Structure 1
Amino acid sequence: MNDLTETPFGYTDGDVDTNTSTEITLNELADRRLSRRQTLRGGSAIVAATLGASALAACDSNDGNESDNNAAPTVNAGAAITTSAGRLVTLSGDASDDKGVEALSWTQTAPTGTPVTLSNPTSKTPTFIAPAVAAATTFTFQLAAADAQGRTSTGVATVTVNPATLGFTAVPKNLLDVVSVPAGYTVQVINRVGDPIAANVPAYKNDGTDTNFAQRIGDQHDALQWFGLSSTGTRDANSSTRGLIVQNHENIVQENLHPAGTSFGGVRPEADALKEIEAHGVSITEVTEGANRTWTTVQGSSFNRRLTPNTPMVFNGPARGSDLLKTAYSPLGTSGRGTINNCANGVTPWGSALTCEENWAGYFRRFADGTRTAKELASLSRYGISDRANGNYGWSTVVPSDPADTRFRRWDARATGSSATTDFRNEPNQFGWVVEFDPYTPNSVPRKRTTLGRLGHEGAWPGRFQAGKKPAWYTGDDSGGEHLYKFVSATAWVEADANATDRLAMGDKYLDTGTLYVAKFNADGTGAWLPLVYGQNGIDSTYAAYPFADQADVLINARLAATVVGATPMDRPEWTAVNPQTGEVYLTLTNNGGRALANTDAANPRSYTDPRVDSARSSSGNANGHVIRLREDGDTTEATTFKWDIYLFGAGSDLDPANINVSGLTADQDFSSPDGLWFARNTNPSGQVKPLLWLQTDDGAYTDVTNCMMLAAIPGTVGDGGARTITNTAANGATAAQATRVGAAPTAATLKRFLVGPVGCEITGVDSTPDGRTLFVGIQHPDGHWPDSQATGTATARPRSATVVITKNDGGVVGL
């Protein structure tokens, strides 16, 4: 998120006439022969203000029974408490009096600069969430009590709050068919594949006969985001009990969508292909918290919506109208249909959502038919659109019932007509973009923002927004040897725009003009952002491998432009996340089997063999992946240079600590193939001071030992480690040294496993409510019997991707 969102634990004025220096006033009350009415209405500010109308009412009802010799109540504010940020704190006070205690009230008295919100402040045991602190901080709370005659006494409770720590016991690695979380947490399941999201859509039978995925939750859940709703159904960025979940649906598990024996090859039936197409895309659903913290999806909500590969969309930015975007559907190159292979995501401070099209190339049918130019072939090759008889799932083979229906023909990228406007040779160019849409306006038309470039987008996460500075979004390109990119807007940020109601107009303002950069990582721990601009640094019509025509061509073929300028090839760049306090950018590099001994570099330093214990098969290259991070010079998104190091190296805890398990991971910390990545929101203690980082895995190398997982971390900063030299070893025994930069080794206090998923799944997608007390996590493509197995560990139903809701049983902030 950005640093403009206010904390929900903010100060409320409350009773302003509160005298916190009460020694004289309260001691003298015992000696003054005044009636209760005179005491409360004429003299004691602390009683009148702190205890308020309840004490006055008691006074009015008992005027005739006064006893001037009655002693003030005895107050006990409880023992001193020590806790840490994000934990639920319960004050425990009491008061006694021979005439009875008429009223109690708690008031925070220190520190004045860090107010907390007390629940039920007139009860004996109010609670509050311990706020974020940079160092141990003492909080004091005064308990005031009044008896039936209006005499009062106070006591003081002391709470020492320490900086945030990971407040749970690490979950052991396991191969169970459940979502495992720490003791003290509860898991709920919502938004399963096929769940209906519109009124009158029947429940999902999960036997392959269900239809109408345009009004059901899609398949293969991926990145997700919470968008708050007010009680009246308007945008409320601080709401934690009612909101919208926007979730990507990356792909499908084809056999689970059909009855046994449904055709998967040859000419595909129209209904089968349509079901598969509609199960891709994005879902927007309203969810609410009810009694006992039970979360429910509102099936008939007017906000519920599906974006599928068939949803009409428009192109914005420099590539709009380019010849390379023209098709038989859009002869002007200004519109298109849908979004597909949606993996990671992004957000904007004005309340719109970004979804990102990742590895979409395989869906297209193409033959080497001799009709394409050398330039076209260079583009097709770099984007992985190789010769395929049918493309993924064979959608192009459908013979539609309506000959004018091109929803299936569009997946045939052959040049079959007389020009690009008579066929779909350019249809692959319509994918690989960042798509912006407004989740609060269901009838709005999504916009593909071409300024962010066309590639295998793995998210588009914003840097910190600073007034007067040009904002930026960071994105990985999920393929071996591809790059990290940054888009910098041409428009400086105006804080008032965060509250704009025309959210897509804000996207036009900040996302349609600007500069796309690609990263070069130097061996000395520095780096540079290289602009991808036509006419600069060799990006022009003279580049032999791909003669660029204009800036639209550069953005449509951003991968080729990145090669021209000398960007660093990375080990499958995936999710980006930005520390909301420091602005540091984290990037997961999932793995890279093609990272050979001869082509390691400082930013991608490992090449080794990772054996599996369940078979003779092993993984080579950078089998377990790593997480790299960078800090912009000057701490501004406008910077063109940065510093970097490697935050964590994925590895089994039993592997070589000098050259493979470089981070020194223990059994409570080890992981492989980092993928999903997200920093906690800065609206609650988990995202303040030293924010919590959530790290998810999509693994094949370590699944003989454990299912995929999610870890919680409290990272340091770039440069907190130092230089290191790794000795890499090839399968034939050859070795080579590689220098790199590493972060400080994690400790049990700064990294541990929070969750292990069910059999065969990927853990992907994570967000919380603004208060941090509810965490949403995506479970993708389980292949056991989950989620039906969640309750007992066993089941017989077909598995389904779903979203889990995780809450802490005591009501505290998740993870702390």
Structure 2
Amino acid sequence: MNDLKKLLPMLGHTRGKRSAVTCSLKCDNACSKAVCNTSANNYFRDIASTEFSRRSALGIGLAGALSAAVLVQGNGQGQNSQGNNGVGHSGKGGKFGFTPIAPVDASVDSFNVPAGFDWSPIIRWGDPIFNEAPDFDFANQNAAAQAGQFGYNNDYLEILRQPNGKKGLLVCNHEYVNPQIMFPAAPASAAEEAERRNIFRNAVGMTVVELERKKKGQPWSYVRGGGLNRRVTMDTEFELTGPLAGSDFVKTAADPTGTKVFGTLGNCSGGTTPWGTILSGEENFNGFFRTNGTSVEDRRYGLGNAATGMGWELEDPRFDARGEDYRNEPNRFGYIVEIDPEDPNSTPKKHTSLGRFKHEGANVIVADNGKVVAYSGDDERFDYLYKFVSKNKYKKNNRAHNMTLLNEGDLYVAQFAGNSAVEIDGSGTVPADGKFDGSGQWLPLVLNGKSVIAGMSVQEVLVYTRLAADKAGATKMDRCEDVQPNLQTGKVYVACTNNTKRGLPGQAAADEANPRTENRDGHVVEITERRGDSTATTFNWSLLLLCGDPAKNTQTYFSGFPADKVSPISCPDNLAFDTQGNLWISTDGAPSVIGYNDGLFKVGLEGRNRGNVQQFASMPRDAETCGPLIHDDESMAFVAVQHPGEDGSYGAHSSFFPDYVAQGSTPAPGKVRAPRPSVVQIFQAN
């Protein structure tokens, strides 16, 4: 037991169905370690409030994929027909009515949707995307096969549709792997262990795959051997852009130019640009590297001197950054990456101008002045919310130019002030004015190509962005994950998943933007910037939700909507919008907190419906809901189901998703008897 405890420090400390193994593999046991942010930014500063109002919506973004113009029908972290970043329709669409489902106990292994709807997987882990790739064989996996198959633990999701609705492109991230589900626990030979590590390297990254169907509104099928199909793995070359490219901070023995990197790691959420490319956030990259762990910079990024869960440092020296040759290799990860789904031969980019931290994702919109703005959260307890504003302006129908817009620009970090700060005591009690709200400002880190942080160059700000934001005085948040602009209103929504350290001794106290001590359930922040100007440096804000289960006496807040009439919701993670302007939330961690499986939820934002949370789907046992995508013009929704059965093991699986009998809870005879992360489509039943 003691040896196991050393390997799995979260063993015995997880709640509900969260696996200690997943804590090790997904986020390097972050909750068992000291908080990375030890800065003194524990308080609000006084900020003058500014009058804000609605912002005009963008037009429709087009991309020329599949030999025709493909309408960007994005998602939020996988958004909706507004686009992951808000790209796409800003007009009206289908109302997508449904009867909310009841929450499903965390012990149940099933995928649940409302009456009148059905579901099916589009693509599953191991499905071959190239003609030459073999069919999936769970008992006989190998690295070469995995390089041509759909990757593991799909997260961010986007579907780009042709105008006729018959063809499309699916783009997906693959964040990490669950070895204890994929392979037996029995000791393996050195050669077998090396092969498994190579399988893991080929199971992460990204996938692009063509879709087809007979007509609009019907379920999709993926096209094996499609001309645009692509796998991005740890062998894929990326180009570094921005001020860090070629700097001494990113040069290694293998890349003395500091301009190219192989692979992308920990890819979580993402975004779809107005020019039709896909963005992906490198989140928990620190857990893949072994470093000396002694520097301030290492500690601030959670890098340490311990064997990693993946063990890649045993074969590839660049993951062992203790020596001089590869000490900079970790500096080459933690960025927003951009991939062109229309060109499978293109070189993806890593944009250093957007800063280096645990990016959940990034969502890009075009401001009225033509500059593009990207919002991004740093998914770590007590870390920050960021905004990037491009130097140059968007040019309609000039895709080549627009694909350079993230290379240069200004970088900001958010600071919040509350209107009722003296009333906040950590209980989550609503202030006397009836809401949690206030004002804020975007503090510059890089402005007009120059650093504004004393003692730090532009390159230092961008490679050690967390340290720069500490010095700027940013507000510590409860794990900013997905950040989504709503094109109907111009407001920006931030999912703060949770922070069980909030208010504990030695940690930042509750404040009005993060009003609960030991915030297990999370909350959603709504930001309003000046009309038509997402480049503004001031904003107003309010809380839309303090999540939880009102029936279990959790202190909750639903913007005034009756708490006894909402679906219980916990741990908001990814966000999306439908064409009506409703917010959709996917969750990660509900089984650990409120005892229900994670799900997909619709939330009203206007009038008497504001704060009305309705559950639309429930995930299988142990699974996280990722990549919500809402095509309400077709009454369809999509999710990436990540780590189903994470609490099981090889041969003793706790889930058999998605290979059920009649979508029930019994595995079908002859089917692969193991859970498979999958992209799922939800559609109206015939």
Q: Is the TM value for this pair above 0.5?
A: yes
Structure 2 counterparts to residues 57-96 of structure 1, below 5 A: none
* 2:120 alignment counterpart: 188
Q: Could you tell me which amino acid in structure 2 is paired with residue 296 of structure 1? A: S
Cα distance in 2, alignment partners of residues 662 and 468 from structure 1: 33
Cα distance in 1, alignment partners of residues 312 and 555 from structure 2: 49
Residues 1:338 and 2:263 aligned together: yes
Cα distance in 1, alignment partners of residues 57 and 183 from structure 2: 43
C-alpha contact (below 8 Å) 2:451/2:461 kept by paired residues: no
The equivalent position to 1:496 in structure 2, one of 380, 392, 397, is: 397
Cα distance in 2, alignment partners of residues 430 and 299 from structure 1: 33
* 2:407 alignment counterpart: 512
C-alpha contact (below 8 Å) 1:433/1:455 kept by paired residues: yes
Residues 1:213 and 2:213 aligned together: no
C-alpha contact (below 8 Å) 1:571/1:590 kept by paired residues: yes
Change (3 A) 1:366 1:438: same
* 1:469 alignment counterpart: 370
Cα distance in 2, alignment partners of residues 195 and 279 from structure 1: 12
* 2:501 alignment counterpart: 594
- Alpha-carbon distance, 1:653 to partner: 1.9
Cα distance in 1, alignment partners of residues 140 and 157 from structure 2: 26
* 1:100 alignment counterpart: none
Cα distance in 1, alignment partners of residues 264 and 497 from structure 2: 24
Q: Could you tell me which amino acid in structure 2 is paired with residue 381 of structure 1? A: R
- Alpha-carbon distance, 1:513 to partner: 1.1
Change (3 A) 1:467 1:529: closer
- Alpha-carbon distance, 1:395 to partner: 1.4
The equivalent position to 2:550 in structure 1, one of 632, 636, 653, is: 653
C-alpha contact (below 8 Å) 2:638/2:680 kept by paired residues: yes
Cα distance in 2, alignment partners of residues 364 and 433 from structure 1: 15
Residues 1:671 and 2:569 aligned together: yes
Structure 2 counterparts to residues 607-622 of structure 1, below 5 A: 607=517, 621-622=518-519
Aligned residues: 563
Cα distance in 2, alignment partners of residues 268 and 479 from structure 1: 35
Cα distance in 2, alignment partners of residues 445 and 2 from structure 1: 32
Q: Could you tell me which amino acid in structure 2 is paired with residue 676 of structure 1? A: N
Structure 2 counterparts to residues 29-428 of structure 1, below 5 A: 167-175=97-105, 176-207=108-139, 209-211=141-143, 212-229=145-162, 238-261=163-186, 263=188, 269-290=193-214, 293-367=218-292, 377-388=295-306, 390-398=307-315, 408-415=316-323, 417=324, 423-428=325-330
Structure 2 counterparts to residues 556-595 of structure 1, below 5 A: 556-595=463-502
Secondary structure, counterpart of 2:526 in structure 1 = strand
Q: Could you tell me which amino acid in structure 2 is paired with residue 280 of structure 1? A: V
* 2:625 alignment counterpart: 763
User: Which stretch shows the higher mean deviation, 314-323 or 466-475?
Assistant: 466-475
Q: Could you tell me which amino acid in structure 2 is paired with residue 506 of structure 1? A: N
> Structure 1 regions of 5+ residues with no counterpart?
8-130, 134-162, 230-237, 399-407, 418-422, 542-547, 608-620, 681-686, 721-743, 811-816
- Alpha-carbon distance, 1:766 to partner: 1.9
Cα distance in 2, alignment partners of residues 594 and 756 from structure 1: 28
Cα distance in 2, alignment partners of residues 801 and 667 from structure 1: 32
Secondary structure, counterpart of 1:429 in structure 2 = helix
- Alpha-carbon distance, 1:257 to partner: 2.8
* 1:778 alignment counterpart: 640
Q: Could you tell me which amino acid in structure 2 is paired with residue 786 of structure 1? A: F
Cα distance in 2, alignment partners of residues 239 and 767 from structure 1: 19
Change (3 A) 1:174 1:659: closer
Change (3 A) 1:268 1:485: farther
Q: Could you tell me which amino acid in structure 2 is paired with residue 193 of structure 1? A: W
Change (3 A) 1:2 1:329: farther
* 2:598 alignment counterpart: 708
Give 1 or 2 for the bigger CA radius of gyration: 1
Change (3 A) 1:660 1:713: closer
- Alpha-carbon distance, 1:262 to partner: 5.2
Change (3 A) 1:441 1:556: same
Cα distance in 2, alignment partners of residues 409 and 271 from structure 1: 17
Cα distance in 2, alignment partners of residues 243 and 658 from structure 1: 44
- Alpha-carbon distance, 1:756 to partner: 0.5
C-alpha contact (below 8 Å) 1:437/1:445 kept by paired residues: yes
Secondary structure, counterpart of 1:385 in structure 2 = coil
Cα distance in 1, alignment partners of residues 231 and 338 from structure 2: 14
- Alpha-carbon distance, 1:255 to partner: 2.3
Give me the TM-score of the superposition, normalised by structure 2. 0.77
Change (3 A) 1:293 1:745: closer
Q: Could you tell me which amino acid in structure 2 is paired with residue 167 of structure 1? A: G
- Alpha-carbon distance, 1:640 to partner: 0.4
* Structural RMSD (CA): 2.7
Cα distance in 2, alignment partners of residues 772 and 164 from structure 1: 7
- Alpha-carbon distance, 1:270 to partner: 2.4
The equivalent position to 2:339 in structure 1, one of 437, 458, 467, is: 437
Secondary structure, counterpart of 2:551 in structure 1 = coil
User: Which stretch shows the higher mean deviation, 556-565 or 794-803?
Assistant: 794-803
C-alpha contact (below 8 Å) 1:651/1:661 kept by paired residues: no
C-alpha contact (below 8 Å) 1:624/1:650 kept by paired residues: yes
Change (3 A) 1:526 1:517: same
Secondary structure, counterpart of 2:311 in structure 1 = helix
1:152-192 CA distance string (max 9 Å, x none): xxxxxxxxxxx976621111111332211111112011211
- Alpha-carbon distance, 1:575 to partner: 0.4
C-alpha contact (below 8 Å) 1:651/1:665 kept by paired residues: no
Cα distance in 1, alignment partners of residues 133 and 555 from structure 2: 57
- Alpha-carbon distance, 1:438 to partner: 0.4
- Alpha-carbon distance, 1:429 to partner: 0.4
* 1:528 alignment counterpart: 441
Where relative contact order (Cα < 8 A, 6+ residues apart) is larger, the structure is 2
Secondary structure, counterpart of 1:177 in structure 2 = coil
The equivalent position to 1:630 in structure 2, one of 518, 521, 527, is: 527
Residues 1:3 and 2:48 aligned together: no
Cα distance in 2, alignment partners of residues 437 and 299 from structure 1: 20
Q: Could you tell me which amino acid in structure 2 is paired with residue 474 of structure 1? A: Y
Secondary structure, counterpart of 1:189 in structure 2 = strand
Change (3 A) 1:787 1:668: farther
* 1:539 alignment counterpart: 453
C-alpha contact (below 8 Å) 2:298/2:304 kept by paired residues: yes
Q: Could you tell me which amino acid in structure 1 is paired with residue 302 of structure 2? A: G
1:533-552 CA distance string (max 9 Å, x none): 289896132xxxxxx2x201
Secondary structure, counterpart of 1:273 in structure 2 = helix
Residues 1:694 and 2:578 aligned together: no
C-alpha contact (below 8 Å) 2:152/2:175 kept by paired residues: yes
C-alpha contact (below 8 Å) 1:268/1:394 kept by paired residues: no
- Alpha-carbon distance, 1:658 to partner: 5.8
Cα distance in 2, alignment partners of residues 431 and 326 from structure 1: 13
Cα distance in 1, alignment partners of residues 157 and 614 from structure 2: 23
* 1:68 alignment counterpart: none
1:76-114 CA distance string (max 9 Å, x none): xxxxxxxxxxxxxxxxxxxxxxxxxxxxxxxxxxxxxxx
C-alpha contact (below 8 Å) 1:208/1:256 kept by paired residues: no
Secondary structure, counterpart of 2:310 in structure 1 = helix
Cα distance in 1, alignment partners of residues 587 and 300 from structure 2: 27
* 2:650 alignment counterpart: none
The equivalent position to 2:539 in structure 1, one of 638, 642, 646, is: 642
Secondary structure, counterpart of 2:152 in structure 1 = coil
> Structure 2 regions of 5+ residues with no counterpart?
1-55, 63-89, 420-437, 646-654
